[in-house]
């Protein structure tokens, strides 16, 4: 059988989500190839970065697991074992880079919740609440910083009009597809109705307990704040000529834009959005490139190996 006949059949067997991610990663690879001189200049600048600031970035990255654990605890009524919760979230961070849209982390957490005696329906409801609280925390922090420093950055420089149009089109298209699926499949409507009933019941019960409310929303606000601090420390290691608040706003806005494209671990989409945001905030391109590379090394590649090892241990001990 010829290559021309086997390749289309292989592509047809690929799930649509995986095919979309493959296309996105190929586009990122093409962008990297076309901008290789800029990336090399960024790497050169990163080699000359201040080591003490980079060490601070590593420490703050490790601290980011604490609000994630708080956020997870705030989504369930049961008291979770703190040690295993922390281990599961370290493992989830590694699994998050295998599947898009946070699915890897959600799968690990789902297994952890089930191991703690939480039913599958309530565990899925907890994951949904987590997925809702996290962007609410990010949006709240971003809007607060913009309100405190209204003239810090022109939003048009961070979010060009074409990106806003693309986001709106994708949102409308996604909602239309969901509505079509619900209208067409009666069984799916029943499943969604039952899931929403469970999720709303659990959410009301959780918000009647002050300890869970505190854990949920403290974690939702603290996680993007600490991640923004990582970006600030990496930028300071490179002496980026951009104020701290502007860097925080750039990071938060870039994270929202990058969420439009569901790549594994945000690889590709985060880099592109963050680079555009930092340059829009006033950073030179080479310094912004180095800062983005340093941020991804500290927050993704350094925790990847320990996260994979913890994941293997938890699976071997049947915690997951």
10 in a structural domain:
no
Alpha carbon distance 10, 22 (integer Å): 13
Q: What angle do CA 213, 171, 121 make, to 5 degrees?
A: 45
118 in a structural domain:
yes
262 in a structural domain:
yes
* Beta bridge partners of residue 264, listed in sequence order: 100
- For residue 15 the two structure tokens come to 């799930």
**Sequence-distant contacts of 21-30: CB under 8 A, at least 24 apart:** 21/100, 21/262, 21/263, 21/264, 24/261, 24/263, 24/268, 24/269, 25/263, 25/267, 25/268, 27/268, 28/267, 28/268, 28/271, 28/272
- pTM, two decimals, is 0.75
For residue 100, give the 3-state DSSP assignment: strand
Count of domains forming the chain: 1
145 in a structural domain:
yes
Q: Outline where DSSP puts E strands in the chain.
A: none
Looking at residue 272, its pLDDT comes to 77
From first to last of the 320 residues of the chain, give the pLDDT tens digit.
444 444 445 445 545 445 544 554 555 466 556 656 655 666 677 778 888 999 999 999 999 999 999 999 999 999 999 999 999 999 888 777 666 556 778 888 999 999 999 988 889 889 988 988 998 899 999 989 988 877 666 555 555 555 556 555 665 666 676 666 666 666 666 666 666 777 677 778 888 889 999 999 999 999 999 999 999 999 999 999 989 998 999 899 888 776 655 555 455 567 777 888 888 888 888 888 889 888 988 888 788 778 888 888 888 887 77
Looking at residue 200, its pLDDT comes to 76
What letter does residue 18 receive in the DSSP assignment? Answer: H
2 in a structural domain:
no
Looking at residue 185, its pLDDT comes to 66
21 in a structural domain:
no
114 in a structural domain:
yes
- For residue 10 the two structure tokens come to 């292989």
20 in a structural domain:
no
Per the structure, the complete domain to which residue 263 belongs is given by 50-316
Give the residue among 28, 13, 86, 22 at the shortest CA–CA distance from 313: 86
């Amino acid at each position: 059988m010829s290559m021309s006949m086997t390749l289309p059949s292989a592509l047809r067997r690929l799930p649509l989500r995986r095919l979309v991610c493959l296309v996105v990663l190929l586009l990122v690879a093409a962008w990297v190839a076309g901008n290789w001189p800029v990336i090399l200049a960024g790497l050169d600048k990163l080699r000359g970065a201040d080591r003490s600031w980079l060490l601070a970035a590593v420490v703050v990255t490790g601290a980011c697991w604490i609000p994630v654990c708080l956020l997870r605890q705030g989504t369930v009524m049961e008291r979770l074992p703190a040690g295993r919760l922390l281990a599961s979230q370290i493992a989830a961070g590694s699994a998050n880079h295998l599947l898009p849209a946070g699915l890897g982390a959600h799968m690990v957490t789902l297994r952890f919740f089930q191991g703690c005696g939480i039913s599958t329906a309530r565990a899925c409801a907890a994951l949904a609440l987590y997925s809702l609280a996290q962007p609410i925390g990010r949006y709240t922090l971003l809007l607060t910083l913009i309100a405190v420093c209204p003239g810090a950055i022109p939003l048009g420089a961070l979010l060009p009009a074409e990106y806003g149009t693309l986001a709106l089109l994708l949102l409308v298209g996604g909602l239309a597809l969901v509505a079509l699926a619900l209208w067409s499949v009666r069984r799916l409507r029943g499943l969604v109705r039952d899931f929403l009933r469970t999720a709303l019941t659990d959410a009301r019960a959780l918000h009647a307990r002050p300890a869970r409310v505190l854990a949920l929303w403290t974690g939702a606000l603290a996680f993007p704040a600490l991640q923004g601090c990582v970006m600030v420390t990496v930028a300071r290691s490179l002496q980026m000529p951009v104020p701290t608040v502007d860097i925080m706003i750039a990071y938060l806005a870039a994270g929202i834009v990058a969420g439009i494209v569901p790549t594994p671990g945000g690889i590709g989409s985060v880099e592109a959005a963050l680079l555009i945001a930092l340059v829009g905030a006033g950073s030179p391109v080479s310094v912004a490139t180095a800062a983005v590379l340093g941020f991804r090394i500290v927050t993704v590649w350094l925790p990847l190996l320990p996260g994979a090892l913890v994941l293997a241990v938890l699976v071997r001990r049947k915690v997951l």
